C-alpha cells in the first residue's frame, strides 16, 4: 500500500505521527471508452467555452457559480490561506460508544500506521481505546476537505472512518410515512419468525460478487473467441395468495435451506469458520472473545483479472 497522507493524532498534549492509507478498494472491472469501429481510445480536449482555447491543467482553476450565473474564480493560493487547523492533524474531540454513531454517517475508511518515533504512544492509545470499548470522534482534513471521523481499532491497527456532516444526511420524507398502515399480529409474528430462522453470525466471505464474475467470464470468452452462453433463468416461485402466506412460505423455505446447510450435529449454522469473534459484550475493540467452531475451508473463487481503481 502507498501512503496518501502524513500527519499526527493530537490526543491531549500527546502527538502521534502517522501515515494514512486507504483501507478499501473497489473491485469493479474498469473500461475505456473506445471507437466501436476500430477500438481506438476516445480522448477529450479541455476547451474554454468563452475563447475556444485548448487548456493545460495548469491553466485551470476552480469556479463557484453564483445564483445569477456569475463565476467566482478560486486559485490554489485562496485555498492555502484558509484557516484549517486539521490540515496535518487528526484532532481528538471526544470519546463515545460506537453504537451511538449511526452507520449512515460513515463515508470512507483509512488505516493509520505510526512513524517509528510514534510507535509507543500509538500502541498506548490503541490499547487504551480498545480496553475502553469506545471510539474517538476526531476532526481531520483530507484532500482539501475537513471531516468528522471516528477512530477505532481493527486487527491491531487504528481505522479512521471519515464521516458526513449532519447537514449532508437527507431526510426520508416519503408519503407512506404519513399513512396509517395496519399490520396484523399474525403477520408480525410470522415476520419475526422469519427473521429468527434466518439469523446467524455475519461472515462476509460466504458472499461473492456474481455480476463481476459473470462479466469477467464474458471478457475471457471474448479473448478466447468462445461463444458467450447466457445463464439459465431461475425458476420463478408461484406468487403467494397474501402477505401472511408469503411469510409462512418464506419461513419454511428458510428452515429447509438452513437444514440442508446444517453441520454433523444437525443444528443450523453448526459449520462455522474457525475465527474468533467478539463475545456478547458486542462492540469492536472489547477484550472478550469466544471460539467459533471450525468448518471446511471454502472453495477458492475463480481467478479474476486484475483491475485498476478508477480515479
Q: What confidence tens digit (pLDDT) does each residue in 227-236 have?
A: 666 666 666 6
Structure confidence at residue 262 (pLDDT):
60
Find the mean pLDDT for residues 24-30. Answer: 86
232 to 105, 203, 226, 239: CA distances (angstroms): 40, 28, 18, 21
Q: Which residue has the higher pLDDT, 77 or 285?
A: 77
Structure confidence at residue 229 (pLDDT):
64
Find the mean pLDDT for residues 36-49. Answer: 91
pLDDT band at 263 (very low <50, low <70, confident <90, very high): low
Structure confidence at residue 255 (pLDDT):
82
Structure confidence at residue 307 (pLDDT):
40
Structure confidence at residue 68 (pLDDT):
92
14 to 87, 111, 132: CA distances (angstroms): 17, 20, 18
Find the mean pLDDT for residues 188-215. Answer: 89
Portion of the chain with pLDDT greater than 90, in percent: 45
Structure confidence at residue 122 (pLDDT):
94
Q: What residues have CB less than 8 Å from 144, skipping those under 6 apart? A: 79
H or E element, residue 135: strand 134-142
Structure confidence at residue 29 (pLDDT):
87
Q: Please give the model's pTM, rounded to 2 decimal places.
A: 0.65
With 70 as the cut, is the pLDDT of residue 149 above it? yes
With 50 as the cut, is the pLDDT of residue 267 above it? no
Domains of the chain and any CATH numbers: 5-27+82-166 (2.40.290.10)
Distance between CA atoms of residues 272 and 265, nearest Å: 13
Best CA proximity match to 270, nearest among 299, 301, 296, 250: 296
Find the mean pLDDT for residues 121-137. Answer: 94
How many residues are there in the chain?
Answer: 311
Amino acid at each position: 500500500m502507498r501512503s496518501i497522507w502524513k500527519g499526527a493524532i493530537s490526543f491531549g498534549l500527546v502527538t502521534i505521527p502517522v501515515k494514512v492509507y486507504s483501507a478499501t478498494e473497489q473491485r469493479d472491472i474498469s473500461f475505456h471508452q473506445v471507437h466501436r469501429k476500430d477500438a481506438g481510445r476516445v480522448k477529450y480536449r479541455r476547451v474554454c467555452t468563452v475563447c475556444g482555447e485548448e487548456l493545460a491543467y495548469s491553466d485551470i482553476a476552480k469556479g463557484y457559480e453564483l445564483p445569477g450565473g456569475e463565476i467566482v474564480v478560486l486559485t490554489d493560493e485562496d485555498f492555502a490561506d484558509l484557516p484549517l487547523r486539521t490540515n496535518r492533524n487528526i484532532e481528538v474531540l471526544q470519546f463515545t460508544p460506537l453504537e451511538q454513531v449511526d452507520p449512515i454517517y460513515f463515508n470512507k475508511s483509512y488505516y493509520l500506521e505510526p512513524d517509528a518515533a510514534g510507535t509507543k504512544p500509538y500502541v498506548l492509545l490503541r490499547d487504551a481505546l480498545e480496553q475502553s470499548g469506545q471510539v474517538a470522534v476526531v476532526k481531520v482534513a483530507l484532500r482539501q476537505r475537513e471531516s468528522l471521523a471516528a477512530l477505532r481499532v481493527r486487527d491491531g491497527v487504528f481505522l479512521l472512518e471519515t464521516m458526513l456532516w449532519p447537514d449532508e444526511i437527507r431526510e426520508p420524507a416519503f408519503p407512506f410515512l404519513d399513512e396509517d398502515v395496519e399490520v396484523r399480529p399474525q403477520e408480525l409474528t410470522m415476520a419475526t419468525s422469519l427473521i429468527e430462522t434466518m439469523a446467524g453470525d455475519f461472515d462476509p466471505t460466504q458472499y461473492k460478487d456474481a455480476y463481476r464474475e459473470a462479466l469477467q467470464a464474458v471478457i475471457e470468452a471474448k479473448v478466447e473467441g468462445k461463444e458467450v452462453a447466457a445463464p439459465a433463468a431461475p425458476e420463478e416461485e408461484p406468487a403467494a395468495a397474501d402477505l401472511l402466506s408469503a411469510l409462512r412460505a418464506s419461513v419454511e423455505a428458510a428452515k429447509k435451506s438452513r437444514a440442508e446447510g446444517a453441520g454433523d450435529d444437525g443444528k443450523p449454522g453448526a459449520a462455522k469458520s474457525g475465527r474468533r469473534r467478539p463475545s456478547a459484550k458486542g462492540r469492536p475493540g472489547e477484550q472478550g472473545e469466544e471460539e467459533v467452531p471450525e468448518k471446511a475451508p471454502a472453495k477458492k473463487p475463480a481467478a479474476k483479472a486484475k483491475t485498476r481503481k478508477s480515479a
